[in-house]
């Protein structure tokens, strides 16, 4: 059953341009206390008082989404630009305990079989220092026929990141993994609480930031892409001549079906060759069509706004030097690694904000090192280099 969140706006100008005030109530009109209210992806947040009222003071940024979250109720998010200079009354609706009928159920077997894969592809690999406190609340569904994995989180996930010194409250909206296409897609809202800020934590944050997608977007906004060390090339997918043709793939599928029904053991050499090329090759190869492209090839600046707008694929390279501790000082190391990433787009363009956020981020596909920026390396949008 689909639930609806009611959202009312009462026009009234605030004395402080960057304050948001309002009241949170339930469907019966009773005020709600302890509703988490936060600017998505930042350390900026508050909770509603006993009378349902709240006041949130923002920085100069007016971008991003404001999230209202309480266990047992539907999460609600709205754009900051839609609510500035307005007094809010937010009506929260309860979630329904009876789930919709699903063809593929959520099972403990699916959890056991895929929990490590989920952690690798969304949280990261450092199980010791980055962990979900309430991991067992996750629910897994795996369709063996379509090889599609889905994960949902009925509760807000509490993630302890000792390396970066944050406690992250992560509201997982969706997670899907297509094992056929090897595509993973997950979205959620997050609120960061700083737990420690030692010199070692500062070093870890600096190393997580440099060369990250957050760093790249901020460089775009500030017109500092080249100055910050990023090298951008234009790329394009071309057909791989070594990958089996459609006719060969159909031949392979027909043979597999015949083999299953007749229990054939010996496989002809040409069928074995098709199978080998299917498993060892990719359908497409990446070709660099233009190197060191100018910013104007993928960045538009219109009426004070900045947009990422490109055709085909962007290859983004970054020579990264790791920071380290030398005594009590933080220094840049001499060893260099080159990060290389690919950006595909499923949207016309993306607006880039000064904090390094973009509109419709789920429409941007990342490959390479950008795709390794999982939650264990995630920094809040209000992080400043060196903090």
67 forms beta bridges with: 38, 77
> Do strands 86-92 and 19-26 pair parallel, antiparallel, or not at all (unpaired)?
parallel
H/E stretch holding 274: helix 269-280
Please give the Cα distance from 191 to 39 (Å, whole number): 7
- pTM to 2 decimals? 0.82
Burial of 60: CB neighbours in 10 Å, binned 0-12, 13-18, 19+: exposed
- For residue 343, list its beta bridge partners: 314, 366
Return the ∠ at Cα 353 (arms to 121 and 193), rounded to 5°.
55
Sheet strands side by side (includes 305-308): 299-302, 305-308, 350-352
DSSP state of 64: S
Is the backbone of residue 225 left (phi > 0), alpha (psi -120 to 50) or beta? alpha
pLDDT in tens, the chain (387 residues): 233 333 333 333 333 447 889 999 999 999 999 999 999 999 999 999 999 999 988 876 567 889 999 988 989 888 887 887 778 899 999 886 444 445 568 889 999 999 999 999 999 999 999 999 999 999 999 999 899 999 999 999 999 999 999 999 999 999 999 998 888 888 899 999 999 999 999 999 999 999 999 999 999 999 999 999 999 999 998 899 999 999 999 988 888 888 777 766 678 888 889 889 988 888 888 899 999 999 999 999 999 999 999 988 999 999 999 999 888 889 998 889 999 999 998 778 999 999 999 988 888 989 899 988 899 999 999 999 888
Secondary element (H or E) of residue 168: strand 166-178
């Amino acid at each position: 059953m689909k639930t609806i969140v009611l959202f009312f706006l009462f026009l009234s100008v605030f004395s402080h341009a960057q304050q948001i005030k309002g009241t949170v109530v339930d469907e019966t009109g009773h005020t709600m206390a302890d509703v988490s209210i936060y600017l998505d992806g930042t350390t900026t947040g508050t909770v509603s008082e006993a009378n349902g009222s709240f006041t949130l003071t923002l920085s100069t940024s007016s971008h991003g989404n404001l999230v209202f979250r309480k266990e047992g109720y539907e999460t609600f998010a709205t754009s900051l630009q839609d609510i500035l200079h307005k007094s809010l009354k937010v009506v929260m609706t309860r979630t329904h305990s009876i789930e919709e009928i699903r063809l593929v159920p959520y099972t403990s077997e699916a959890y056991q079989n895929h929990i490590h894969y989920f952690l690798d592809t969304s949280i990261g690999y450092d199980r010791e220092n980055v962990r979900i406190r309430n991991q067992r609340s996750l629910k897994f569904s795996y369709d063996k026929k379509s090889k599609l994995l889905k994960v949902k989180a009925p509760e807000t996930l509490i993630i302890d990141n000792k390396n970066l010194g944050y406690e992250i409250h992560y509201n997982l909206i969706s997670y899907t993994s297509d094992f056929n296409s090897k595509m993973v897609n997950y979205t959620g809202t997050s609120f960061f609480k700083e737990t420690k800020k030692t010199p070692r934590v500062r070093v870890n944050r600096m190393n997580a930031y440099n060369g990250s997608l957050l760093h790249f977007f901020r460089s775009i906004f500030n017109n500092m892409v080249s100055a910050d060390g990023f090298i951008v090339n234009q790329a394009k997918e071309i057909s791989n001549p070594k990958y089996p043709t459609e006719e060969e793939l159909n031949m392979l599928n027909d043979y597999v079906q015949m083999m299953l029904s007749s229990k054939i053991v010996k496989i002809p050499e040409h069928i074995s060759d098709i199978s080998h090329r299917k498993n060892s090759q990719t359908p497409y190869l990446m070709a660099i069509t233009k190197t060191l492209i100018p910013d104007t090839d993928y960045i538009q600046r219109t009426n004070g706004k900045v947009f990422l707008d490109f055709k085909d694929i962007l290859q983004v390279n970054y020579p990264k030097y790791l920071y380290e501790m030398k005594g009590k000082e933080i220094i840049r190391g001499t060893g260099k690694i080159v990060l290389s990433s690919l950006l595909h787009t499923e949207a016309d363009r993306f607006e880039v904000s000064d904090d390094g956020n973009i509109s419709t981020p789920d429409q941007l596909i990342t490959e390479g090192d950008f795709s390794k920026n999982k939650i264990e390396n995630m920094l809040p949008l209000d992080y400043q280099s060196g903090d």
